[in-house]
Structure formats: structure tokens, C-alpha cells
Amino acid sequence: MIKKRYIVLLLLIICICGMIFLIASYMSVKRVGTITINTKELQSGDPVITFNGKKGEHIEITFNSNVSMGEWHLQLVNADRRVLYTFETDKSTNENFELPEDGEYRLEANYKDFIGKVRIKAILK
């Protein structure tokens, strides 16, 4: 009887620790935004995700693309409009970039005469 209580108590402690770990992991990640482009007709546009970041934080950019026609570009730009990083958009990828300073940043997408699907997700860590 006492052995069963210890097993139940141990399982309860493991569950509580697991929940604490999941909550802490979730709180350390901040979803910055998403951009979804899905068109079967020629379109052009320039959607933007704007966010504030701190020096040393990492921005994780994930995108999947399936281009039937046209082209699209993706850049990370700082508040001074200086391009910090230009992503290769000819393939689907997951890339990390360390922010060099505190401030406002923009993830700028641009597409012209485009047919296809693109989904961009940005997470700040």
C-alpha cells in the first residue's frame, strides 16, 4: 500500500515538473508574426513584419515556398533601413539570425508578378 502511494506521488511530481518545463519553454519564445501568400493569379505585394528586439536575441525565420511564376525576396532590415540579411528564397529553409542591437526591426517580403504559395514565420528567442 505504501509502495503504491510512493509511485503515485512520484508520477505526480514528474507530471508537475514536465508542465513547468513546457510553460518555461513556451514563455521564452515569442511569435513575431507570419506572412502567407497564396495566389493562382499574377499578384505583386510587399508585406512586412515589424518587431522590437534586443541585442543578442535570435530571430528564427522559417519559410516554405512553392513558386509557379515570378519571384519573391525576403530581407531583415533595422530601424535605419540598413539591410542586415537577405534570405535565399529559391528554397524552403529555417534560418537563425542574432540581432546586433536593441531596436525596431522589419522582415520585409516583396513579390512581383507572382503565382504560388509562400508561408513565412518569425519567432524571437
The pLDDT tens digits for 71-92 are 889 999 999 999 999 988 877 8
Tell how far CA 107 is from the center of its chain. 10
Q: pLDDT higher for 27 or 56?
A: 56
Does this model's pTM top 0.95? My answer is no
Q: What is the mean pLDDT of residues 12-30?
A: 66
CA max distance for the chain: 73
Query: What was the pLDDT predicted at 61?
Result: 92
What's the confidence (pLDDT) of residue 5? 78
**Judging by beta carbons within 10 Å of its beta carbon (0-12, 13-18, 19+), is residue 53 exposed, middle or buried?**
buried
In order of their start, the domains of the chain are 33-124 (2.60.120.380)
